[in-house]
Amino acid sequence: MKKHNFSAGPCVLPKSVLDKCSKSILEFNKLGLSLIEISHRSKDFIEVMEKARLLTKELLKIPKGYSILFLQGGASLEFLMVPANLLKHKAAYLKTGTWANKAINEAELYGEVNIVGDSSDTNYSYIPKGYHIPKDIDYFHCTSNNTIFGTQIHEFPEVPSLMVCDMSSDIFSREINIDRFDLIYAGAQKNMGPAGTTLVIVKDEILGKTNRKIPTMLDYQTHIKKESMFNTPPVFAVYASMLTLEWLKNKGGIKEIEKINRLKSETLYTEIDRNSLFNGISNIEDRSIMNVTFDTTRKDINIMFDQLCDKAGIYGIKGHRSVGGYRASIYNALSIDSVNHLVEIMQDLEIKMK
């Protein structure tokens, strides 16, 4: 039986995508060959790459002037590539958690980092607001959704320079205005596909301005010129991502999935707030619609809750070690049925404890 997969990443993918992927491993496009055996320069694979780009462009309504790349190294390599390509003197960073901190560490290798907002005082339970972004920076960097802490930026700040955003865990989950961003990156394994590829959306005109010699593989311009085929791309990850984007388009696109995502998160938060055995962890107004962090109000019920979840086929809700408690990741491919199932378990526990 397929489990209800609440894992934070790698995570749930649509069943139809997994079916097509498994077939493609045995034979792709009736070629008598597997997807992972053919040349990445073959017409069949180039078509996959082009489709993935096109679907990204369509779903996110990306205007002219941006390049769409499928790279390797995860979002973690983008922490380094962003400053290597954009940082001349100084950048502003919003310090909202583990991933933001890793991005800050890499940026410090290239220049001055100005931390304009910081929520470490409460273990990142909120999104800083009302902070000042100085004018003399090369770019501002933020993490749209803090996967580990369950906070999300619901209103992006006005930025006097370039705007860079790590959208690893909420890309394709809600409508965003791409015009407001100059560079967006996202590891595939949360809302797009399996681990192995990273989506980068970058405004062409911002590149090539640092006068720095950038190693070939770290230079976005290398990958733009070669349409993400400078070296062998992760063919399987790109193919599976393409299928997931196709699935999303068939579901009605981002507008429709956002409605479902909001319904899923409201359903779960409503139960957390109603049920006296549970408490939310993150600040209410900053709650994420992708990663729902919560804890029990009585330590003596944790074992029973874990057992109930286990028996019900609920997988992956243990909180990150730096937060504790529980975290239900409810990405695009997780159905409302799975959320309702978890809510039933929480209600079940309440009845058992009466």
Consecutive H or E run containing 302: helix 302-311
By the rule CB under 6 A, 14 interacts with ligand PLP: no
DSSP type of residue 320: P
Using CB under 6 A as the criterion, what x/- string covers residues 60-99 for binding ligand PLP? --------------xxx----------------------x
Treating both helix axes as pointing N-terminal to C-terminal, what angle do 253-274 and 235-250 enclose, rounded to 10 degrees? 80
> In the complex with ligand PLP, which residue's Cβ is closer, 147 or 241?
147
Q: Residue 9 CB, nearest distance to ligand PLP (Å)?
A: 5
Q: Residue 47 CB, nearest distance to ligand PLP (Å)?
A: 26
Interface residue with ligand PLP, options 24, 169, 228, 241 (CB under 6 A): 169
Q: Residue 353 CB, nearest distance to ligand PLP (Å)?
A: 34
Q: Residue 8 CB, nearest distance to ligand PLP (Å)?
A: 7
- How many residues of this chain bind ligand PLP (CB under 6 A)? 12
Interface residue with ligand PLP, options 83, 117, 128, 187 (CB under 6 A): 187
> In the complex with ligand PLP, which residue's Cβ is closer, 168 or 244?
168
> In the complex with ligand PLP, which residue's Cβ is closer, 169 or 338?
169
> In the complex with ligand PLP, which residue's Cβ is closer, 150 or 157?
150
Q: Residue 84 CB, nearest distance to ligand PLP (Å)?
A: 16
By the rule CB under 6 A, 107 interacts with ligand PLP: no
CA dihedral sign, ordered 205, 208, 214, 217: positive
- Whether the CB-CB separation of 280 and 272 falls below 8 Å is answered with yes
> In the complex with ligand PLP, which residue's Cβ is closer, 96 or 161?
96
Q: Copy the structure tokens of residue 232.
A: 């062998």
In this structure, the strands spanning 112-118 and 90-95 are parallel
Q: Is 68 helix (H, G, I), strand (E, B) or coil?
A: strand
CA dihedral sign, ordered 333, 336, 342, 343: positive
Chain length of the chain: 354
> In the complex with ligand PLP, which residue's Cβ is closer, 20 or 223?
223
By the rule CB under 6 A, 330 interacts with ligand PLP: no
By the rule CB under 6 A, 143 interacts with ligand PLP: yes
How far does the chain reach from its first CA to its final CA, in angstroms? 31
**Can you state the percent helix, strand and coil of the chain, rounding each to 5?**
40, 20, 40
List, in order, residues 6 or more apart from 59 with CB less than 8 Å away: 172, 245, 248, 249, 253, 254
Interface residue with ligand PLP, options 168, 191, 241, 332 (CB under 6 A): 168
List, in order, residues 6 or more apart from 47 with CB less than 8 Å away: none
Find, among 177, 209, 90, 100, the residue nearest to 139 by Cα. 90
Distances (CA, A) of 157 to 89, 127, 145, 293: 21, 11, 14, 24
By the rule CB under 6 A, 9 interacts with ligand PLP: yes
Where does this chain touch ligand PLP (CB under 6 A) — which range of 52-60, 165-173, 222-230, 253-261? 165-173
Distance, in Å, from the CA atom of 108 to the CA atom of 205, rounded to the nearest integer, reads: 24
> In the complex with ligand PLP, which residue's Cβ is closer, 220 or 305?
220
In this structure, the strands spanning 314-315 and 4-5 are parallel
Residues of this chain, 301-320, that bind ligand PLP according to CB under 6 A: none
State the catalytic residues: 99, 166, 190
Give the interface with ligand PLP as residue ranges (CB under 6 A): 9, 74-76, 99, 143, 147, 166, 168-169, 187, 190
